[in-house]
Amino acid sequence: MRKTECLAMILAGGQGSRLKALTKTVAKPAVPFGGKYRIIDFPLSNCANSGIEKVGVLTQYRPLELHNYLGSGSAWDLDRTGGGLFILPPYAREKSADWYRGTADAIYQNINFVKLTDPEYVLILSGDHIYTMDYSWMLESHKRNKADATIGVFEVPWDEAPRFGIMNTDKETGKIVEFEEKPANPKSNLASMGIYIFSADIFIKYLEEDGVNENSSHDFGKDIIPKMLNDGLGLYSYAFDGYWKDVGTIESLWQANMDLLQDQPPFELNGDWKIYSSNPSMPPHYVGENASVKESMVSEGSKILGEVSKSVIFPGVRIGKGAKVTNSVIFPFTTIEDNAVVDHSIIAQDVTVKAGAKVQGKEEEILVIAEGETVNA
Amino acid sequence: MKQVMGIVNLQESNATIRDLTATRAVESLPFAGRYRLLDFALSSLVNSGINSVGVMLPDFSRSVLDHIRSGKDWDLARRRDGLTWLPAALPDGDSRKGDLKDLYANLDFVELNDRKYVVLTTGSFVYNIDFNDVFKFMEDTEADITMVYHVAKRDRNAKNVVVQTSTNGIVTDLAETSTVKVGDKLAMSIYIMPVPTFAYIVRSTYERGGQDFTIDGIIRHASEHKISAYEHKGYIAHINSTAEYYKANRDMLNPEIWEQIFMDKAHPIFTKVKDEVPVQYKNTANVKNSLVANGCIIRGTVENSIIFRGVTVGKDAVVKDCILMQRCDVGEGARVENLIADKNVIISKNRWLKGAENYPYIVAKNVRI
């Protein structure tokens, strides 16, 4: 078997409770995004494009649809001989069966998988961020610094810094001197992106110690990283300056979708850095005689007979004559019947908005219609 | 349909559609924004539950090979059965034309396949057929061979095999004609028959100097077999001229036909997956009655057109009654009407180009205007 240089582990077990109705039946990483994708397509595609050939996906909450979606990993070119995609849900052992108790525990429970793969480096990713990033540069920086751990950081506005895990670094070397979780008076505005590269030996040692520590909350940000810092290990930051968005809330998910509609989108959509996804077999969408589509993204298999503006339309959506869809995100196979109005909303899969019905949200309070519902006039 | 195997015969003559087929077989002509013509036959076979399919390669085979690859996008990359490539017969001093030589050379594939029946199709039709219905018709009519036809809806000048049937669906006459009248029953180059019957027809006809499966194998020996003919009532187009190609593409702008061909959940049309982003419509976009494939960026006006994957239409550009294939680029202020642009055509800023309504202007691959 070829030697695995870098093993990626994607934490995809989160419930995403702040996405409310959208995660009633699916885990957060499986939530649709951007007209044809699901959130987890971004880290998976980044891995594929960064030359990472072995990826473990740790699932837990409502895994059925996510497992079904991931399949053999072929959509991301991860159906590889002797490797590729590994789906890692919690499992029962001789004495007990535990849920994943935290981000670090999820990996700890799969430490045998990490050992079996025998990588030199382990890349930890989360399955709920929208960004395109070449991890190979971060790995280069990790090697160059001879670091024990490298943490991806991102500059956030100073007033938002108290909401994040903040890294205080040595300006010259990028070496992390202090880590503060949600500090009231931040000394820096470099927020952790939840992306870590660890050298494998140290990684395994710290996880095994943490795993048996009764007092730990088993979290990378709260336990592992502070402990490593305390022990004087070499932790470095790797600054990312592209588009990065945590889509953990309805408003941020909506905003990230709207960001794609700018005349120049925040990251290259049509370039070489493709975002792969499981593709439905559907024809190009049809735009009708009296339709109007502006400042929007529309995917395959949709039929637009009404008016669409500043909206993201997923595959198989029907928008009837005289219907008006503005500032909204419409998930697959939803029907907006004739003369219905949808504004500032996210409409989940297989919803029917009946003829003449009105779904009206506000910019500061995006309305969500849950999967399978019918909205009557 | 576990006992049935399929063959897609891509050895068709494409003399009448030469403009667009100079470098590709007619079966791999791009169609309806993201497909190639052979997708329809191949998907119909797969959706009918036929999981052993031979694809008989045309002379220009690169675009076909590149399109189908392992057959994975049609679920034909299997450990057992799945896709089998049937290459053309080696040149051996035999100057005979036609598909019979290649069928003869590949008879092993059919006879050693362990299936009882074979469905023979070609790749130049647009349709979505469930072959289970055809198979059942064959059993009901107790025929040796069942063929599929459709009823002509308009007069045209084109070579076609016309079928005459008795009221119980049994073929009474078959003939190749050069004009078609409304109401004619036109053969669709689809045959189902038991493997031994197929092998017998191919072997005996080829060894007696035959060239063409339909003409020499079927029509000339029609009286030797009990042939029944099944009517396909759904949409169909036979792409055998540039005009037909243009018309059939534009038929897909009819939402009913679009639904019937593409949106039947149990019978999707599969094609090579390209991972393009959804279409981006900018604030100056103005699109009416068009099909737009993923990967396009639209800033201008598009009407009554088929826009393939990855096309860009600039600001103030106008695209009317056009077929723009993959990665065409219509510059700012350009205006194109009644045009078929092959892949990677660039229409520079402010250029105007117009074809006739019934005779589209064709721009070859990779041309910059």
CA distance A270 to chain B (A): 7
B35 touches chain A (CB under 8 A): yes
Query: How far is residue B78 from each of residues A4, A328, B7, B41, measured CA to CA in Å?
Result: 28, 41, 16, 19
CB contact under 8 A, B253 and A286: yes
Q: Does the beta-carbon distance from A284 to B307 stay under 8 Å?
A: yes
Q: Is B49 on the interface with A (CB under 8 A)?
A: no
pLDDT digits (tens, 9 = 90+) for B206-236: 999 889 999 999 999 999 999 999 999 999 9
By CA distance, what is A303's nearest residue in B? B255
N-term to C-term CA, chain B: 50
Which of B281, B303, B307 is the best residue to mutate to test the A interface, defined by the most A CB atoms within 10 Å of its own CB? B281
Range name among A78-87, A305-314, B118-127, B234-243 with the lowest pLDDT average: A78-87
CA distance B18 to chain A (A): 26
Contact A296 B255 (CB under 8 A): no
Measure in Å the smallest separation between the Cα of A376 and chain B Cα atoms: 26
Out of A261, A283, A313, closest to residue B34 by CB: A283
Q: Is the pLDDT of residue B14 over 60?
A: no
Q: Least CB-CB distance to B255: which of A36, A286, A301?
A: A286
For B290, name the nearest residue in chain A, comparing CA atoms only.
A287
Residue B233 has a pLDDT of 95
Q: Between A and B, how many CB-CB pairs are < 8 A?
A: 116
User: How far is it, in rounded angstroms, from Cα B80 to Cα B82?
Assistant: 6
Distance, CA of B204 to CA of A221 (rounded, Å): 77
Cβ contact, residue pair B293, A296, below 8 Å: no
Asked if A174 reaches chain B (Cβ–Cβ under 8 Å), the answer is: no
Asked if B293 has any chain A CB less than 8 Å from its own CB, the reply is: yes
CB contact residues (below 8 A), chain B span 72-111, against chain A: 72
Q: How distant is the Cα of A314 from the closest Cα of chain B, in angstroms?
A: 8
Q: Are B271 and A282 in contact (CB under 8 A)?
A: no
Yes or no, beta carbons of A299 and B294 under 8 Å apart: yes
**pLDDT tens per residue, range A254-282:** 999 999 999 999 888 888 899 999 888 89
Give contacts of A303 with chain B, Cβ < 8 Å: 255, 258
Helix (H) or strand (E) holding A10: strand A6-11
Rg (CA), chain A: 22
Q: Do A285 and B270 touch (CB under 8 A)?
A: no
Picking from A16-20, A33-37, B99-103, which range would have the lowest pLDDT averaged per residue? A16-20
Q: What pLDDT was estimated at residue B17?
A: 66
3-class DSSP assignment, residue A356:
coil
Query: Nearest chain A Cα to B36, which residue?
Result: A283
The minimum CA-CA distance between B253 and chain A, rounded to whole Å, is 7
Rounded Cα–Cα distance for residues A31 and A26 (Å):
7
pLDDT tens digits, residue range B320-345?
999 999 999 999 999 999 999 999 99
ipTM score = 0.91
Q: Which residue of A has its CA nearest to B266?
A: A281
- A72 interface with B at CB cutoff 8 Å: no
Chain B positions in Cβ-Cβ contact with residue A285 (cut-off 8 Å): 279, 291-292
B261 CB neighbours in chain A (<8 A) are 283
Q: How confident is the model at residue A153 (pLDDT cuts 50, 70, 90)?
A: very high
Please check whether residue B305 touches A, CB under 8 A: no
The predicted model gives B255-264 an average pLDDT of 95
pLDDT at B184 (0 to 100): 95
Contact A279 B286 (CB under 8 A): no
Q: A282 CB near a chain B CB, below 8 Å? A: yes
**Average pLDDT value over all residues in chain A:** 91
Yes or no, beta carbons of A299 and B253 under 8 Å apart? no
pLDDT in tens, A179-230: 888 888 889 999 999 999 999 999 999 999 988 888 888 988 889 999 999 9
The pLDDT of residue B358: 77
Strands annotated E in A78-189: 84-88, 121-126, 129-131, 149-155, 165-169, 176-181
Q: Looking at chain A, which residue has its C-alpha nearest residue B39?
A: A281
Are A282 and B280 within 8 A, CB to CB? no
B262 closest CB neighbour out of A261, A283, A293: A283
> What pLDDT, on a 0 to 100 scale, did the predictor assign at position A281?
87
B279 contacts in A (CB within 8 Å)?
285, 297-299
Dist CA B350 CA B328 (whole Å)? 15
Q: Does A279 contact B281 at a Cβ distance shorter than 8 Å?
A: no
